[in-house]
Structure 1
Amino acid sequence: MELVPHSPTSGVYPASDDYVHAMEVRNPERLLYVAGTMGLDERGTPGASLAEQLDLIWSNIRAILASAGMTVDNIVRLTSYLRDPAYAEANALARVKALGGRVVPTTAIVAQTLDSSWLVEIEVIAAA
């Protein structure tokens, strides 16, 4: 599999340092679509703070990816659903840290989550 990032420098607004406009995935053997993942512990209890929920989300994503023989290095697309726009910076910092600075196409949407204690939900697409 080959990943080819695409962020044109003309004809579209510039990409920031933490994402690319598009990721071309050439010759993948497998695709994994991960449902929206919340900051819940193994008992289903949400983390008490935004930081704790972001840590739990990324721990949960790593566990889900591992169950398919993948890691965060296989993520090719990410969407974050934020309960409040004020969470955008912390979410972006957590993503950059979790991906080790690797950039992928990403979108953040402010939305009402199904449970008011869920502050952030993240879904990913991974390829191998």
Structure 2
Amino acid sequence: MDTKIHNPSAGVYAATDDYVHAIEVLDPQRFLFVSGTMGLDADGIAGATLDDQLRLIWSNLRAILASAGMTVDNIVRLTSYLRDPAYAQANQDARIAALGERRIPTTAIVVQTLSPDWLVEIEIVASA
């Protein structure tokens, strides 16, 4: 998959070290749109802590991506839904740990989740 980062230096605020304004996917063959994925274990039980849920989310995302023959290297867009704005740093840290040096367009939104046990939900778009 070939991509090109777009971070214009004029007319828009600067991108940060863990964020890009846009990523262009050049000649994609496939796209995978992944539903909001929660920090639930195989039995559908939410992790007890925010860190537990973030670990489960990224494990679940890796399993979903693998089912399509992809990895986290194929993620080109990510949206996080946080139950509390205080979760932003832990969510960012988990994303950086999962993606390594890769930077993609991201958005974090504070929401009321369908269950109070669900602290974070992440949806992604991947391409190959």
Q: With structure 2 as the length reference, what TM-score do the two structures score? A: 0.99
Match of 2:67 in 1: 67
Give, in angstroms, the shift of residue 9 of structure 1. 1.1
Report the 3-state secondary structure (helix = DSSP H, G, I; strand = E; otherwise coil) of the residue aligned with 1:73.
helix
Count of aligned positions: 128
| Partner in structure 1 of residue 25 of structure 2 | 25
Percent of pairs with identical residues: 69
**Cα-to-partner distance string for 1:72-99 (whole Å, 9 max, x where unaligned):** 0000000000000000000000000000
The equivalent of 1:79 in structure 2 is: 79
TM-score by length of 1: 0.99
SS of structure 2 residue aligned to 1:86: helix
Q: Given the alignment of the two structures, is residue 118 of structure 1 paired with residue 118 of structure 2, yes or no?
A: yes
Matches within 5 A, 1:1-128: 1-128=1-128
For residue 39 of structure 1, what is the amino acid of its counterpart? Answer: G
Q: Which runs of 5+ in 2 are unaligned?
A: none
**TM superposition outliers: structure 1 runs of 4+ over 6 Å:** none
Q: CA deviation at 1:19?
A: 1.0
